[in-house]
A = this chain, B = another copy of it.
Amino acid sequence: MALIVQKYGGTSMGSPERIRNVARRVAKFRDAGHQVVVVVSAMSGETNRLIALAKEIQAHPDPRELDVVISTGEQVTIGLLCMALKDAGVDAKSYTGGQARILTDNTFNKARILNIESDNLRRDLDSGKVVVVAGFQGVDAAGNFTTLGRGGSDTTGVALAAALSADECQIYTDVDGVYTTDPRIVSEARKLDVITFEEMLEMASQGSKVLQIRSVEFAGKYKVKLRVLSSFQDEGEGTLITVEEGKQMEEPIISGIAFNRDEAKLTVQGVPDRPGIAYQILGPVADANIDVDMIIQNVGHDGTTDFSFTVNRSEFEKTKAVLESVRQHIGAREIVGDNKVCKVSAVGVGMRSHPGVASQMFRVLAEEGINIRMISTSEIKIAVVLDEKYLELAVRVLHRAFGLDQG
C-alpha cells in the first residue's frame, strides 16, 4: 500500500464528464489498495472568468478580496469531485486550503506555503477516505484566504506530498510526460522516462510549460518523487522526476531542447563600468514588476561596458521606457533593443562530465547559418538568443545533433 498524491489541472476538471473520469481513475488507485490524496484546480476558464468579473468592478482589484473571489474556483471542484467519487462508491471528503491547514504568508495573489498541519488529512486517509484538497490556495495566520499564483496547484500537490511523506506525487496534465522537445516542432521528440530535478528546473525556466517551476523546486528541496502523467490516457508511466542521477549506464549528455518564443532583448550601451551599476539598471526594472530573464554583461573597455538582458516580449516597450530614464540618470550612451528574438536551450546533467557541449552547439548553429545574439550558460544548460525566424530550425538541428531522436 502506497500513499499517492494526484494533482489534476483545470482541463481534467473541465466538465462533469471529465470530473467523472478523474473519479474513475482515483477509484482505480484506491481499489488497488493505495491511500489517495487528490489536489484539483478550478474548472478550466473559471479563474479567468472570476478575475474578469473582479476587474469589471475594480480596475486593479484589491489583492485580499481578489483571493476571496478566485479561491472559489477550486472550492467548487473539490465538492464536485467528492460527489463523483461518492457516486462511484468511494468514500471521500473535500478540504479547502484553509480546512487542510495549508498555512501561507500573507502575500495575497502569490503567497508562499509556510507549513501544512496535516493531522486531519491523515486521520481521514487512515479511515479509508479519499481526501480531495483545493489546489492554489491557503490561509494566512490571521485566517485570510490566500492564493499561490498561476500554476499554484502543482505546488499544493508537492507540498502535501512532502507534508504527508507520500510515496509519489503524480501531476496529471494534457501531455503524457516530459519530452526531449516540443513534439509540435520536432516530430521525433521522445518522451523521457526519467529526468533529474535540476534538468526539469532548467527545462521549466527555459520555456517548457509542463510543470510550474516552484513546484519542481519544492519537490527537489523536500525529495518528493514527482511524476508527470496524462489524464487522458489510462496507460503509461509518464516521466519520473528524480534526485538520482546516472542510473543508466550511458547517461545522455543532453536531456532536452527547451525554447521560448516570446522574448525581447534590450541593451544599455556605454554604461560607466563601476561597482553597483547592474543594480542601478535592474533595480528600477524590478520595481516596475518586470521579470528579467537572461542577463549578460561583457568585459568593458575604455571605462564603459554594454549591459544586456531579456524580458518577456509583452514587457518590451515598458522596459524601454524604464531604461530611458535610467540611461539619463547613470549617463549611459544609448538603449537598443530587439523584440523579434527567441531563446533556445540545451539542458542536461551529462554536460557536467562532458566538455565541449557548448562548442558543439555553436558549431551546429553556425553550420545552418544561424547567428547567435546572446549566450548564457549554467552548469547543466546552454542558452542562446537567436533571431525569432530561426527558432524551429535551431530546435530541430540541435535535437538531432545531440541524438535525442534516437532514444
A residues apposed to B, CB below 8 Å:
16, 19-20, 50, 53-54, 56-58, 61-62, 64-66, 68-69, 71-72, 75-76, 78-80, 82-84, 86-87, 93-94, 96, 98-99, 143
For A98, the chain B residues whose CB sits under 8 A away are 98
17 contacts between A and B (CB under 8 A): A19-B57, A50-B76, A57-B80, A58-B83, A58-B86, A64-B94, A65-B79, A65-B82, A68-B75, A68-B82, A68-B96, A69-B79, A69-B80, A71-B75, A72-B76, A75-B75, A99-B143
Known: A16-B53, A53-B16, A53-B80. A69 touches B58 (CB 8 A): no
Closest-CB distance, A96 to chain B (whole angstroms):
8
For A83, the chain B residues whose CB sits under 8 A away are 54, 57-58, 61-62, 65-66
Closest-CB distance, A346 to chain B (whole angstroms):
45
Q: Is the CB of B79 within 8 A of A94?
A: no
Known: A16-B57, A87-B57, A94-B68. A62 touches B76 (CB 8 A): no
Q: Is the CB of B62 within 8 A of A86?
A: yes
Q: Is the CB of A75 within 8 A of B78?
A: no
CA distance A78 to B71 in the complex (A): 13
For A80, the chain B residues whose CB sits under 8 A away are 53-54, 57, 65, 69
For A84, the chain B residues whose CB sits under 8 A away are 57-58
For A68, the chain B residues whose CB sits under 8 A away are 75, 78-79, 82, 94, 96
Known: A65-B86, A68-B94, A86-B65. A16 touches B56 (CB 8 A): yes
Q: Is the CB of A79 within 8 A of B66?
A: yes
The closest CB in chain B to the CB of A70 belongs to B79
Closest-CB distance, A130 to chain B (whole angstroms):
12
The closest CB in chain B to the CB of A15 belongs to B56
CA distance A125 to B143 in the complex (A): 18
The closest CB in chain B to the CB of A19 belongs to B57
CA distance A4 to B96 in the complex (A): 32
For A94, the chain B residues whose CB sits under 8 A away are 64-65, 68
For A86, the chain B residues whose CB sits under 8 A away are 58, 62, 65
The closest CB in chain B to the CB of A93 belongs to B64
Q: Is the CB of A69 within 8 A of B65?
A: no
CA distance A82 to B69 in the complex (A): 10
Chain B CB within 10 Å — which of A66, A79, A82 has the most? A79
Closest-CB distance, A55 to chain B (whole angstroms):
9
The closest CB in chain B to the CB of A87 belongs to B58
Closest-CB distance, A383 to chain B (whole angstroms):
41
Q: Is the CB of A69 within 8 A of B62?
A: no
The closest CB in chain B to the CB of A74 belongs to B72
Q: Is the CB of B82 within 8 A of A62?
A: yes
CA distance A61 to B68 in the complex (A): 25
Q: Is the CB of B79 within 8 A of A54?
A: yes
The 8 A-B residue pairs whose C-beta atoms are closest, nearest first, are A69-B79, A68-B79, A72-B72, A58-B83, A16-B56, A65-B79, A65-B82, A58-B87
For A82, the chain B residues whose CB sits under 8 A away are 62, 65, 68
Closest-CB distance, A54 to chain B (whole angstroms):
6
CA distance A86 to B62 in the complex (A): 8
Closest-CB distance, A142 to chain B (whole angstroms):
9
Closest-CB distance, A312 to chain B (whole angstroms):
27
The closest CB in chain B to the CB of A66 belongs to B79
Closest-CB distance, A44 to chain B (whole angstroms):
14
CA distance A65 to B65 in the complex (A): 24
Closest-CB distance, A62 to chain B (whole angstroms):
5
For A50, the chain B residues whose CB sits under 8 A away are 76
For A75, the chain B residues whose CB sits under 8 A away are 68-69, 71-72, 75
